[in-house]
Amino acid sequence: MTMSTVPDRCAALARAHGEPVLGSASRARRWLLVEQPGAWGRDALRESGLPTRVADHLEVLRRGLPARVLMLRRTSSTEGGGADDAARASRTVFAGVSHPGGGGWLERFHLEEVSQLVDLDLSGLSVGRSVGGEPVTEPVYLVCTNGKHDACCATFGLPAARAVRDLVGDRAWECSHVGGDRFAGNLVCLPDGILYGHLDAATATAPVQAHEAGRILPGVCRGRSALPFPVQAAELLARERLGLDELDALRYLGADRSGERFTVRFALVDGRELVATVRRGRDALERMLACGGEVGAPPTYELDSLQVGHDRSLG
């Protein structure tokens, strides 16, 4: 679907304005993903048909661990998933952690019914420890298609989800709201926690192919979910300046802030330290940030300087 067919929607407007996606990956270090086929409401946790006891338990985990809790479903030809999946009692559950320095882990549980979720001991997630599930050895890809939360998530997300499914099969899932409606279609690559935005049927497979090859695709990458927004921006701007696209090319070490100026330290694979300084500002033009009516001026990030080691400046 082209932008001209949905001129009043937040994602189409963001694309029309050329808003960069870098530094916008929704924050999450711990993930709890629950298969729940069928239609989801705006609040997918409470409006997806989950038993109240399960939804209450997930809310406790969301706040207590804390963790990003998402509903999952298999991609079908229509929003809401297939009737056969919705009628099936068994469920797949994923739990895992994305590390700020890169990488992470994901484990899978196969439940005979979703009510068994309350019996899982997931407390280990709070300290990044295994919770006893089956280790997931290949990346898992999520595309937000929660159209009841924001229309753009269905308009752009559903075609993107189908394209990803056609590429990687059962490792692709539709998911509930991940944040950043105006960047729809949104893709999450787990367990690394790398997000992509402004995807559609024609562009959704390129970041997946890059991730499968151990690379990051610039331009549409929003950042790493385990890092603060300015640090996400610093990593992507540094990668762009240096032409680094390998997933493990930079490892986050730490950051300092002075007002709206952020000095971020990374380790290169050869052991040298890279220091990127970025300045955060605000776009001069206020615009729709979500189809629900939120309006504001999105943040901007500019690379002030880039230094490798202690004596070579690239800025």
- Return the pLDDT at 232: 98
Which pLDDT band, with edges at 50, 70 and 90, does 89 fall under?
confident
Same domain, 209 and 146: yes
Same domain, 303 and 238: yes
Q: How far apart are CA 102 and CA 272, in angstroms?
A: 17
- Return the pLDDT at 150: 76
Task: Please say whether the beta carbons of 185 and 27 come within 8 A.
Answer: no
Give the CATH number of the domain where residue 176 resides.
3.40.30.10
- Return the pLDDT at 154: 86
List pLDDT tens digits, range 52-73.
999 999 999 999 999 999 999 9
List pLDDT tens digits, range 202-235.
999 999 999 999 999 999 999 999 999 999 999 9
Of the residues 203, 222, 241, which one is the last residue of a structural domain?
222
Same domain, 235 and 212: no
Which pLDDT band, with edges at 50, 70 and 90, does 163 fall under?
very high
| pLDDT at residue 85 is higher than 80 | no
Our measurement of the distance from residue 186's CA atom to the centroid of its chain's CA atoms, rounded to an integer in Å, reads: 7
Give the CB-side neighbour count of residue 135, counting CA atoms within 13 A.
5
Q: Please tell me which residue, 78 or 50, carries the higher pLDDT value.
A: 50
Same domain, 60 and 192: yes
Of the residues 156, 189, 222, which one is the last residue of a structural domain?
222
CA nearest to 121, candidates 99, 90, 91, 95: 95
- Mean pLDDT for 247-269 is 97
Residue 153 φ/ψ, nearest 5 degrees? -65, -30
Give the CB-side neighbour count of residue 272, counting CA atoms within 13 A.
10
- Mean pLDDT for 280-291 is 78
| pLDDT at residue 9 is higher than 80 | no
Same domain, 116 and 92: yes
Which pLDDT band, with edges at 50, 70 and 90, does 3 fall under?
very low
Same domain, 28 and 164: yes
Which pLDDT band, with edges at 50, 70 and 90, does 309 fall under?
confident
Same domain, 195 and 241: no
- Average model confidence (pLDDT) across the chain: 90
Same domain, 162 and 281: no
Give the CATH number of the domain where residue 278 resides.
3.10.450
- Return the pLDDT at 7: 47
Task: Please say whether the beta carbons of 175 and 143 come within 8 A.
Answer: yes
> Which structural domain range is residue 248 located in?
228-313
Which pLDDT band, with edges at 50, 70 and 90, does 86 fall under?
low
Same domain, 38 and 151: yes
- Return the pLDDT at 290: 67
Of the residues 205, 222, 239, which one is the last residue of a structural domain?
222
Same domain, 270 and 208: no
Domains identified in the chain, total number: 2
- Return the pLDDT at 298: 84
Same domain, 289 and 305: yes
Same domain, 239 and 217: no
Is the full-model pTM beyond 0.85? yes
- Return the pLDDT at 12: 61
Strongest mean pLDDT among 3-7, 91-95, 282-286: 91-95
